[in-house]
Amino acid sequence: MRWTQSFIPTLRDDPADAEAVSHKLLLRAGFARQLMSGVYSLLPLGQRVRLKIIGIIRDEMNAIGAQEFLLPSMHPREVWEQSGRWSAVGPEMFRFEDRRGSDIALGMTHEEIFTHVATEIRSYKQLPQVFYQFQAKFRDEARPKSGLLRVREFTMKDSYSFDVDEPGLDAAFERHFEAYRKIFNRLGFEAIAVEASSGMMGGDQSIEFMLASDAGEDWIASCAACGYAGNTEKAGSKLPAVEDEPGPAAPEKFATPKVRTIEDLEKFEGGTPGIRQIKTLVYKVDGKDVLLLLRGCDVLSEQKLLDSVEGEEIRPATGDEIRAALGASPGSLGAVGVDLFVIADEALRGRTNLTTGANEDDFHLRGVDIERDIDVKGWLDLREVQDGEPCPLCESPLSVYKTIEVGHIFKLGTKYSDAMDATVLDENGATRPVVMGCYGIGVERNLAAIVEAHHDEAGIIWPMNVAPFEVVVTVVKPKEVTCAEAANRLYDALQQGGIDVLLDDRDERPGVKFKDADLVGIPYRLTVGPKGLSDGVVELRNRRTGESRDLPIDHAAETVIEAVLDERR
């Protein structure tokens, strides 16, 4: 490919609305353009990288015996109603009505559709099976952001395993786990496998693959000592026991004028530290008021609540609903003496002499004993893990940091096969639901994640396996016959050697060409100029290391081909 014949619209400045590094660089380097909020066009460079990512994923899926499908993006309401998710999924699902009045959804995921296909499997002798596809997904994100990292239309590789029993699912899950490790290694980064919430997907186990990045929106807690890792929506810690001072025989009410927050109470009259306060939150669970209690220093993980409490609708109560339930405003709430369902975080179990709201504005109670004074109906792990807390396995300090989710695998069990009657006859002739797993990788998100992991101030630094071009031959003076002929000979030789090569034959200043090559991120730059040719050499520069060396022109193509093949994994 010649640069003069290519569409590579590079920009000199960062787009004003771009924050993530990948967002800035993919726009500046001419890989993508925004069509509307959360929807991007991939330009030729972006498509070249996308196809290489797909090729790597396809290799590893085929290696574990998966079979490639292509299923529809438009789904009838009836299939989603079978699983119960037509009403359970919120406004993030795109829905419309066709001319016949039928309700249609744009697929945000394909569990229902693959399960529908799997209903044709009749016997355990046809199992196990692994199906996969590359297909567009549509999600009406409330806040699309960070370029390709959070969008409303994207390509996903989703695969599904079908087995006769749980041991079969375990084996399929492990095969996918190892395949994902290989995929991310070939994409150029090491992903961290963490315990995660299954969310709307269902099932009893899921693992996320995460890339540490300030551009991410997920927080994980990990232990360098033993390898434990978990999304903060799932992770736990081993908190040290707290020795409470003796308290009064009964709670004591005291005035706290204008105290509205945990921090206000910490500063009030000498202060009550957050670890000695009870934070009271009011949630609506299927219309009923439920009180959630945590230590004042802790933050509720709403996902832990959603994973632990059964309910069709779970949400925070409004200000009016809170006052109707407890007679006070947030900041003065408590669970002492109330006739409501109370759930407390495990970190409060056994605690005494604590302070909480009195359910009267500007008043609190001190000397509260959890077991004596509050009727706790359930104990759950509700709190988010904090940086530095003890690991639940080895008690070494945990590190909490931001990450990008680059893959997610789920054990679905029989959630969908039960609902959609995907059953087989087992070896005893009995009917049983197939046991399913689900495994996803977002293609464009991984494209952006690679940029987040591989860049510098000059631009992108693509790993060889996914680079849009592996070598750029830069002609310093393309109008000089000797330069043009030498560059064309190298270009032809590299192409014949199986190298993805771009010939920069533009009539531009050398500095412009060098900056563009660095911005686009091509791993090797081979510079052909009159001065070097007079000495019988061309210059080879490594984009990642910045190192340059002269190569004899007669052996340059051979040397570059060997270097590229050595870096391909």
Q: Which CATH homologous superfamily contains domain 252-380?
A: YbaK/aminoacyl-tRNA synthetase-associated domain (3.90.960.10)
Domain ranges of the chain: 45-235+400-452, 252-380, 469-567
Burial class (CB in 10 A: 0-12, 13-18, 19+), 455: middle
Mean pLDDT of 213-219: 91
Residue 201 predicted with pLDDT over 80: no
* pLDDT confidence bin for 16, thresholds 50/70/90: confident
Which of 316, 319, 327, 329 is closest to 289 using CA atoms?
Answer: 316
Neighbour-count burial for 229-253, b at 16+ CB within 10 Å, e otherwise: bbbbbbbbbebeeeeeeebeeebee
Residues 6+ apart with CB under 8 A from 524: 470, 471, 472, 540, 541, 542, 543, 560, 563, 564
Least confident of 83-97, 106-120, 202-216: 202-216
* pLDDT confidence bin for 198, thresholds 50/70/90: low
Q: 3-class DSSP state for residue 36?
A: strand
Q: Which CATH homologous superfamily contains domain 469-567?
A: Anticodon-binding domain (3.40.50.800)
CA dist 185 and 159 (Å) reads 19
Residue 434 predicted with pLDDT over 70: yes
Structure tokens at 269: 């009259």
Q: What is the pTM of this model?
A: 0.89
Which tens digit of pLDDT belongs to each residue from 516-531? 999 999 999 999 999 9
* pLDDT confidence bin for 207, thresholds 50/70/90: very high
Beta strands 67-68; 252-255: pairing state: unpaired
Q: What are the two backbone dihedrals, phi and then psi, of residue 507, each rounded to the nearest 5 degrees?
A: -90, 70
3-state secondary structure 269-291: HHCCCHHHEEEEEEEEECCEEEE
* pLDDT confidence bin for 203, thresholds 50/70/90: low
Place of tokens 């998710």: 85
**What pLDDT does 19 receive?**
87
* pLDDT confidence bin for 543, thresholds 50/70/90: very high
Which tens digit of pLDDT belongs to each residue from 151-161? 999 999 999 99
**What pLDDT does 188 receive?**
95
Number of C-alpha atoms within 13 angstroms, CB side, residue 88? 14
CATH node for 45-235+400-452: 3.30.930.10
Q: 3-class DSSP state for residue 37?
A: coil
CA dist 204 and 260 (Å) reads 39
Which tens digit of pLDDT belongs to each residue from 366-423? 999 999 999 999 999 999 999 999 999 999 999 999 999 999 999 999 999 999 999 9
Q: 3-class DSSP state for residue 557?
A: helix
CA dist 193 and 397 (Å) reads 18
**What pLDDT does 524 receive?**
98
Mean pLDDT of 202-231: 88
Check if the beta carbon of residue 80 is closer than 8 Å to that of residue 112. yes
**What pLDDT does 22 receive?**
96
